[in-house]
Amino acid sequence: MDKETLFEMSADGLEDVEPISDSFDLSGKVAVVAGSVGLSLYVINRLLECGASVVFGSRTQEWGDMAVEAFKDLGRDKLAFRQTDVRKVEDCRALVAFAEETFGPVDICVPVAATWQARAFLDMDEELYDDIIDTDMKGQYFLVQAAARSMVKAGNGGKIVTIASVAYRGDDMYKLAMMTPYNAAKAGVIGMTRGIAKELKQYGINVNCVAPGGMVTPGAMVNCVKTVELYGQEWQEAQMAGGSETPVAASPDEMARMILTMCTDVADFMYGRVVEVDGGANLSFQEKPWSYTMDGGIPGTA
Q: Which residues are catalytic?
A: 182
Q: CA neighbours within 13 Å on the CB side: how many for 134?
A: 13
| Strand 53-57 versus strand 108-111 pairing type | unpaired
Alpha helices in 112-179 (DSSP H): 126-133, 139-154
Distances 90 to 62, 104, 134, 146, 150 between C-alpha atoms, Å: 21, 19, 13, 10, 15
- Quote the strand ranges of the chain, DSSP E: 30-34, 53-57, 79-81, 108-111, 158-163, 205-212, 214-215, 248-249, 274-277
CA 276/CA 116 separation, integer angstroms: 19
Nearest to 212 by CA among 273, 167, 182: 167
Cβ-Cβ contacts under 8 Å for 1 (sequence gap 6 or more)? none
CA 147/CA 168 separation, integer angstroms: 24
Task: Dihedral sign for Cα 147, 143, 42, 53, please.
Answer: positive
**Number of separate helices (H) and strands (E) present in the chain:** 12, 9
Q: Is 38:52 a contact under the CB 8 Å cutoff?
A: no
